[in-house]
Amino acid sequence: MTRLIILAILILTSCSSKGQNNFEGIIKFSTEITTTKLAPDGFQKQLNDKYGDSLLMYYSANGNFRRIHLNSAEFGADSQYYFAKKAKLYFTNKNSTQIDSLDTRENSLKLLSKGKTKNQKIMNLDCECYEFKSISKYNQNVTLNYCYSSESPKINPELYSDHNDFYLNEYYKLAKRPYLKFSIETEEFKVTYLATKLTEKEIGEKIFELK
């Protein structure tokens, strides 16, 4: 009986440690979209219509998160829901009942190189930045950039260990903080999300109801 009690205590302690010290709250980002001369005509407007001009990212203490695109067009992107236990990312669009998904354990990019880049000032905070150079399955060069502040609340990287796509798990393992900047750049376009406000608060389960 004593061994069973000790085992139970170890299991409970392990479960508790995985859930503690994980940021719960909301980060608001501005959305900046630019295109190059290689982009087709009208592509800038298509991206603006799809992704809007700002983004809210809700973090739950259990590892779930939801991104909500603000001011996207009538049939533009609405939300991305990540459920840690399922290792699934679900996509919804405005005025549509269709829900698309992907398995985040599979990375859609092949890594070419990664490393630290120049620090940036975000929300008056000194932020460290890291870059992942990769190539897509369509042989398109893709550069990802993540920035974070050591003054931000901590995140438990174990909760995001199954989010291999876009090297998000590697980023969280490295930074142990939510990102305050994320950008994706190709030869045709660049989309940048830059944090403008971070709020620590309890997030109810309702915000993660898939709809």
Decide if pLDDT at 173 tops 50. yes
**Residue 86 DSSP SS3:** coil
Angle at the Cα of 49 from the Cα atoms of 204 and 166, rounded to 5 degrees: 60
Least trusted range by pLDDT, from 16-25, 106-115, 169-178 = 16-25
How far, in Å, CA of 64 to CA of 204, rounded? Answer: 11
Q: Is 189 exposed, middle or buried (0-12, 13-18, 19+ CB in 10 A)?
A: middle
194-206 pLDDT tens trace: 999 999 999 999 9
Enter the pTM of the model.
0.89
Q: What local confidence, expressed as pLDDT, does residue 63 receive?
A: 96
- Residues 107-156: tens digit of each pLDDT: 999 999 999 999 999 999 999 999 999 999 899 999 999 999 999 999 99
pLDDT tens per residue across span 46-96: 999 999 999 999 999 999 999 999 999 999 999 999 999 999 999 999 999
Instruction: Report the distance separating Cα 127 and Cα 180, nearest Å.
Output: 8
For tokens 């409970």, name the residue. 12
State residue 82's pLDDT score.
Answer: 98
What digits encode the pLDDT tens for the residues 98-120? 999 999 999 999 999 999 999 99
User: CA neighbours within 13 Å on the CB side: how many for 12?
Assistant: 6
Confidence of residue 20 (pLDDT cuts 50, 70, 90): low
pLDDT tier at 1, thresholds 50, 70, 90: very low
pLDDT of the residue at 9? 39
- 21 — pLDDT class (breaks 50, 70, 90): confident
Q: Does pLDDT of 10 surpass 50?
A: no
DSSP conformational letter for 71: S
State the pLDDT at residue 125: 98
Backbone phi and psi for residue 197, each to the nearest 5 degrees, phi listed first: -160, 135
The Cα angle at residue 202 between residues 198 and 206, in degrees rounded to 5: 110
Q: Which domains does the chain have, with CATH numbers?
A: 20-208 (2.50.20)
Q: Are 192 and 183 in contact (CB under 8 A)?
A: yes
pLDDT for 6 equals 40
Which of 108, 113, 178 is closest to 136 using CA atoms?
A: 108
Residue 159 reports pLDDT greater than 70? yes
